[in-house]
Amino acid sequence: MRRTAPALLALFLLAGCGTAAPTIDVAPPTGTAGDALASVGGIDIRDAAIAPADDAEGGIAHPAGSEVALRFVAVNTGDAADRLVSVSSPLAEDVDISGERALIGGATLLVGGTGSTVPAGAASVTRATVTLDDLRQALSVGPTYPVTLTFERAGSVTLELPVDDPEGR
């Protein structure tokens, strides 16, 4: 009996070691499935996409010649101020940027209707709109399309942006 008690105790303790508690990801969601994410320098880009069409017909979300808004969140994770200098894409004849472009250290720039939450502890929040004007081709839900964001200090990053699906597919 003396030998079996320690063996039973060891077996009992080991049985509890074989099952681990499930891990839970508590990070807040950063957008819908398919949204583009990237980092350049001290700038994190998330929830990036091309705005959905109000009335897509025949698989075309945005016809050639139209204009379309972009949406994204830019978070300056560093201490140094930065600024969105330009946005370009081979999709458009021109790109229009309006609103605030500056990002002080710790600040968040919301572009378009993001539906995203502002990161906790953001130093400030600014808003801007970016529109791709006179599309050179029709855009559809499904494929991704290149758009380059250029920041004064962080540099440039090219993202492959999906067209948001208003049906959430």
Domains of the chain: 38-49+59-169 (2.60.40.1890)
pLDDT at 114: 65
pLDDT at 31: 38
pLDDT at 52: 86
**Separation of CA 13 from chain center:** 45
pLDDT at 12: 42
Give the mean pLDDT per block of 10 residues along the chain (169 residues): 48 42 30 70 93 74 93 93 97 96 92 71 84 96 94 96 75
pLDDT at 43: 96
Contact 162, 34 (CB under 8 A): yes
**pTM of the predicted protein model:** 0.75
